[in-house]
């Protein structure tokens, strides 16, 4: 069988050369590699272009459950055999589930690539989903849900998300609920596995000291059992509606009030994404940010305060998080809203803009210094853009953003009528109205 329907060299000609090559196998599986000959490691991952937001309400949590279950054994290996073989090659085998992806990955020395590839593909392609293992893993995940519900930082974000994208899969928890997880059986797991784990919904990426053609031949041999005829892209749901809301959740056992204030923001591939990341950096993206300096350093009202971007394929949010005492909650909220007002009313200074640009560029470069990060970068750029960006290209886009761009975007996003607020803690008699969120 011919190894490729198409091949594309994506090597850049910039100062930051990236030797990226792509090959599409006959069954439709896309394989991407980045050669990094100065390393002795190789990181590889199987990425499923589907996550918890592609679940029906009655099977909320099934993506995360499948991610756990594949580690319980395959047609040729038990869970303990996997552990022994991974340790024998000094590997690091891991997996995670997100709102829009599931990833299984392994990192090893370059000399152990064939063994690692065999382990990874066996894990992904040949799980047995044994009913006895399924019942045990339900217990494990129910404990994981309880553990997260005891974490106030996690819980306030979950409460916010569920009310912000109310009624949509994007708002539901990745782990699922006690009710949904308890309902899973082998038939449900097999059905969802067959629906998601198809060549059209997979990307295989690898980065490190690796030779593309030899690696592709090994991947083809491992994945030839996956038929192209049964493979089709998942139907995507429309972008969810974001609901402005004020949610006050009383939890008397907490010493602090957990605070999440947010507005709808840009999708991951939006042309203004670099301006959005710079705006986030200036507001609350580091120790020199306005919120950190105003609320923590100048007034000592909170230990933890930051802002964060949460972009998805068709929507997103820009959120501010803080933890503070109930006596400081109203003042922290007022100061946060004042900073949102200021960034809309006044252009940021040249010094602030330069500092934010340097911070983002530095984080980006440092974040691409390992084979793991390059492997992840390949997958995300393919799934969201279908192309690869050089460091020089991204740096030029960041440098093009002006103070006027940030002010325009701030006025576009930071609308009082769009604000959503979630408070969690021992709230006492605290009351808040929509008029309290003016900015």
Which residue numbers are catalytic? 67
- Tokens standing for 111? 């000399």
The strand pair at 30-35 and 202-208 is best described as: parallel
- Calpha distance 304→324 (Å, rounded): 8
User: From residue 126, how far is each of 71, 192, 226, 345, 428 by CA, in Å?
Assistant: 10, 15, 11, 58, 53
Closest CA to 215 of 23, 1, 11, 5: 23
Residues β-bridged to residue 248: 423
Q: Which residues contact residue 40 at a Cβ distance below 8 angstroms, ignoring those fewer than 6 apart?
A: 109, 110, 209
E strands within 100-235?
Answer: 102-109, 202-208
DSSP letters, 308-331, are EEEE-SS-EEEEEEEEE-HHHHHH
Q: Are the C-beta atoms of residues 3 and 25 closer than 8 Å to each other?
A: yes
Q: Are the C-beta atoms of residues 343 and 366 closer than 8 Å to each other?
A: no
- Tokens standing for 9? 């060299």
- Calpha distance 340→4 (Å, rounded): 52
Q: What is the DSSP letter of 433?
A: -
Q: Are the C-beta atoms of residues 85 and 119 closer than 8 Å to each other?
A: yes
Q: Which residues contact residue 144 at a Cβ distance below 8 angstroms, ignoring those fewer than 6 apart?
A: 175
């Amino acid at each position: 069988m011919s190894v490729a329907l198409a091949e594309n060299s994506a090597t850049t000609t910039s100062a930051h050369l990236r030797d990226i090559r792509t090959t599409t196998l006959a069954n439709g599986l896309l394989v991407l590699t980045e050669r990094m000959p100065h390393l002795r490691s190789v990181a590889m991952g199987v990425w499923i272009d589907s996550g918890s937001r592609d679940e029906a309400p009655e099977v909320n949590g099934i993506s995360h459950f499948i991610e756990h279950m594949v580690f319980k054994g395959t047609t040729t290996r038990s869970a303990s055999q996997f552990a022994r073989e991974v340790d024998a090659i000094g590997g690091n085998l891991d997996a995670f589930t997100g709102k829009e992806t599931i990833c299984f990955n392994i990192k090893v020395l370059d000399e152990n690539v064939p063994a690692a590839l065999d382990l990874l593909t066996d894990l992904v392609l040949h799980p047995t989903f044994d009913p006895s293992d399924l019942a045990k893993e339900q217990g494990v995940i129910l404990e994981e849900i309880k553990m997260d519900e005891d974490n106030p930082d996690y819980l306030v974000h979950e409460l916010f998300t569920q009310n912000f994208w109310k009624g949509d899969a994007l708002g539901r928890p990745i782990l699922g609920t006690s009710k949904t997880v308890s309902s899973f059986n082998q038939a449900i797991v097999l059905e969802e596995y067959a629906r998601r784990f198809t060549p059209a919904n997979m990307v295989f990426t690898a980065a490190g000291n690796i030779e593309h053609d030899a690696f592709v031949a090994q991947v083809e041999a491992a994945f030839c059992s996956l038929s192209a005829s049964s493979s089709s892209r998942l139907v995507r749901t429309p972008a969810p509606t974001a609901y402005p809301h004020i949610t006050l959740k009383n939890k008397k056992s907490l010493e602090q009030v957990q605070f999440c204030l947010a507005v709808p923001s840009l999708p991951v591939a939006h042309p203004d994404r670099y301006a959005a990341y710079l705006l986030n950096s200036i507001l609350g993206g580091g120790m020199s940010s306005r919120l950190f300096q105003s609320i923590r350093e100048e007034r000592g009202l909170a230990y933890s305060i930051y802002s964060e971007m949460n972009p998805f394929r068709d929507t997103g949010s820009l959120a501010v998080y803080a933890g503070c005492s109930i006596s400081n909650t109203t003042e922290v909220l007022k100061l946060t809203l004042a900073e949102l007002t200021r960034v809309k009313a006044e252009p940021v200074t040249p010094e602030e803009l330069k500092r934010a640009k340097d911070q983002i560029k530095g984080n980006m470069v440092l974040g691409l210094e390992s084979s793991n990060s390059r492997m992840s970068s390949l997958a995300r750029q393919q799934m969201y853009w279908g192309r690869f960006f050089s460091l020089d290209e991204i740096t030029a886009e960041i440098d093009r953003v002006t103070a006027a761009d940030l002010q325009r975007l701030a006025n576009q996003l930071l609308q009082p009528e769009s604000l959503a607020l979630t408070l969690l803690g021992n709230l006492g008699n605290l009351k808040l109205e929509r008029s309290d969120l003016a900015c």
